[in-house]
Structure 1
Amino acid sequence: MVLSGHCLCKSVTYKADVDKPLLVGYDHCDDCQRQSGSTYSLVVVVPKDKVTIEGPLKKWGAPGSSGKTVWRLFCSECGSPIAHDPDAAPEIIALKGGTLDTELKKKLTPDTEIWTVSKLPFCQEHLAHPFEHMPQ
């Protein structure tokens, strides 16, 4: 299966050649709320070595809960968030689910919620696998 997607202006494109994502879920952390401008970020976690990203990327980093940097990758042209790349887990990258090609994102089946400790109280969805922080 190839997961492919792009930013709003289509300057940044990516492909992930995976059998299936490692995790599809809602990330409720405060940083994802701010980056997405919404109640959570839909993330599709895949092995980083299976991903190719092309186009004008910028990245911004800040310490995550581990103390290590979480890099936020976004299009330098339109500002669309593409992924977050945590130094604490260098083998994975979390693609922003909303940037997947339309037919692919329609088939996503999120079942995990992470950082529910930051979940906004009015968010009524409850997925099968909630974690207060990151799954171990």
Structure 2
Amino acid sequence: MPLSGHCLCKAVTYTVDMDAPLLTGYDHCDDCQRQSGSTYSLVCVVPKDKLKTEGPIKKWKGTADSGNTVWRWFCSECGSPIAHEPEAAPIIALKGGSLDSEIKKGLKPDTEIWTVSKLPFCTENLAHPFEHMPQ
């Protein structure tokens, strides 16, 4: 069953031509904290070429610590975050909360990235931690 999801208002929908993400994890980078409005962002990494979207997506151009461009995707109608896309990589990180309910209930996060930015009150490891991106 392909992965699928949508924004809060359902104006943006997407499907991914695969049954499971390449990686499911917690992203603690400062930008993901701000985009999610929370202490971290649950991300599901998939190949860009497997993703098909429909609807009014707006993209905001940011700069990663590496100096490379990272595009932050969100619905232009309701503002729901959809993904972040590192321009220099063949992957995109879908926001786990945007997946369809039955799919996200089956996620098994196994990685934490950017723990160097993990907030100090988040004292427990949620999964296998990496200070930045997996090396």
Query: Which consecutive unaligned segments of at least 5 residues does structure 2 have?
Result: none
Q: Name the TM-score, length of structure 1 as normaliser.
A: 0.95
The residue that corresponds to 1:109 in the other structure is: 108
**Superposition deviation, residue 17 in structure 1:** 1.2
Alignment-derived partner of residue 69 in structure 1:
69
What CA distance in whole angstroms lies between the structure 1 residues aligned with 2:41 and 2:32? 6
The number of residues matched between the two structures is 135
Measured in 1, the distance between the counterparts of 2:123 and 2:35 equals 21
Deviation at 1:125, TM superposition (A): 3.5
**CA root-mean-square deviation:** 1.0
Superposed, 1:1-136 pairs within 5 Å as 1-89=1-89, 91-136=90-135
Matched residue SS, 1:35: helix
Tell me the SS of whatever aligns to 1:71: strand
- Provide the C-alpha distance between the structure 1 equivalents of 2:101 and 2:73, rounded to a whole number of angstroms: 20
C-alpha displacement of 1:57? 0.6
TM-score by length of 2: 0.96
Asked if the contact 2:25/2:127 (under 8 Å) is kept, the reply is: no
Retained in 2: the 8 A contact 1:66–1:88? no
C-alpha contact 1:48 1:92 (8 A) present in aligned 2 = yes
Cα deviation digits, residues 32-69 of structure 1 (max 9, x gap) = 00110000000000011000011001000111022111
- Give, in whole Å, the separation in 2 of the partners of 1:62 and 1:20: 27
Provide the rounded CA distance (Å) in 2 between the counterparts of 1:133 and 1:124: 17
Quote the offset at 1:129 in angstroms: 1.7
Give the % identical residues: 79
Shift of 1:126: 1.1
CA–CA distance in structure 2, aligned partners of residues 5 and 19 of structure 1: 13
